[in-house]
A = this chain, B = another copy of it.
Amino acid sequence: MKRLTLKDVAAMAEVSPITVSRVVNGADGVRANVRQKVEAAIAELGYIPNRSASVLASSKSKLIGVLIPSLSNVVFNDVLRGIYDIATTANYQILLFNTHYSPLEEMRAVRTLLGQSPEGIIITGGEQTATTRTMLEEARVPIVQIMGKVDKPIDINVGFSHFDAGGAVAQLLLDKRYRKIAFLGARMDRRTCQRLDGFKQRLSAVNYLDDRRIITTSEPSSVAMGVSLFRELMEVTKGDCDAVFCCNDDLAIGVLHECKKMNISVPEEMGVCGFNDIEMAAFTEPALTTVRVNRYRMGSKAMELIFEKTHPTSENKSTTSGYINTGFELVMRNSTR
């Protein structure tokens, strides 16, 4: 009960193994009738090529490594979908690692990944350890850092400035005549912190920043967490607060829920703004003002850039490096004036 090999197919088709190899890999330079004979033999036998052998011999893996910090965050679903859709089309495979927001797990994952000779790597953010960074650089394959603008990209960077987005939200709320604006944040990864920084800078520029109104936790984000952060905010500030910027929509939905319970009217007494624009945001009561970001595009674009770099053509050489801004967009709904 041995595994079928090229040789078996070759024997059946009465050709040499290399010819079978060429047929399998769709290489040209095989006559049509020979190709058919081989294909028939493959079908007949149900032959499936051994990829390890192929990778070892050719050092072409058709493999892209993807490292993301969470599998429970909807944000990454959309990104992943973008990545998978493009990868599958190009017949590439994805090796996905969940780093749980830990640079150490990330480092371990990179090491494991590098053992598989990936032809490209998509990694979240720019908080890699020095070792990880070195390994990545030495891998000599296209690397795309996604989700946020990073300070010193390893190679390519696809995302948007979370700092600017945070600032834009602060400005929006100021424009709507809110003056006692709070920030609620969970998980507090790098990008969330950047949103907070942008937010703080904008507020402090007009002297409306009050640190008591910034409530954060390192715990994961959830609707329930939105509820409890908001309660904490109300307690700490004794209700002296007229708007909340939540670091994501889940939190914001929790705030909306709690406002109803506390009989605080939104958007009059309390403006609420989320982040991400998940589908639910359009269906809350009142509908949630939030920031839309192009998640699917971040994934698909990252994948496309890897392919452009792997298979260079004359017209794409220029684009394949540096920072690609996928942008963000304020979505005004009824949870703000």
Contact = CB atoms under 8 A, between A and B. Distances in A.
B253 A280 contact: yes
A96 B98 contact: no
A259 to B, nearest CB: 12
Contacts of A74: 74, 77
A80 B70 CA distance: 11
Nearest to A56: B52
Interface string A126-156: 0000000011001000000000000000000
Interface stretch (A111-119, A163-171, A234-242, A315-323): A111-119
Nearest to A73: B77
B52 A117 contact: yes
B56 A53 contact: yes
A88 interface: yes
A138 B45 CA distance: 12
Chain A interface helix/strand/loop/mixed? helix
Contact of A114 (B48, B61, B95): B48
Given A116-B52, A280-B253, A283-B257, A77 B84 contact: no
Interface string A218-248: 0000111000000000000000000000000
Contacts of A96: 94, 96
Contacts of A81: 71-72, 98
Interface residues of A, number: 46
A93 B114 CA distance: 13
A78 B72 contact: yes
B280 A51 contact: no
Contacts of A84: 71, 98
B115 A50 contact: yes
A267 interface: no
A189 to B, nearest CB: 17
Given A74-B77, A223-B279, A260-B285, 12 more contacts: A46-B134, A46-B138, A48-B115, A51-B52, A52-B52, A71-B77, A71-B84, A77-B77, A223-B282, A257-B283, A257-B285, A280-B280
6 contacts: A46-B135, A48-B135, A51-B52, A51-B116, A84-B98, A260-B285
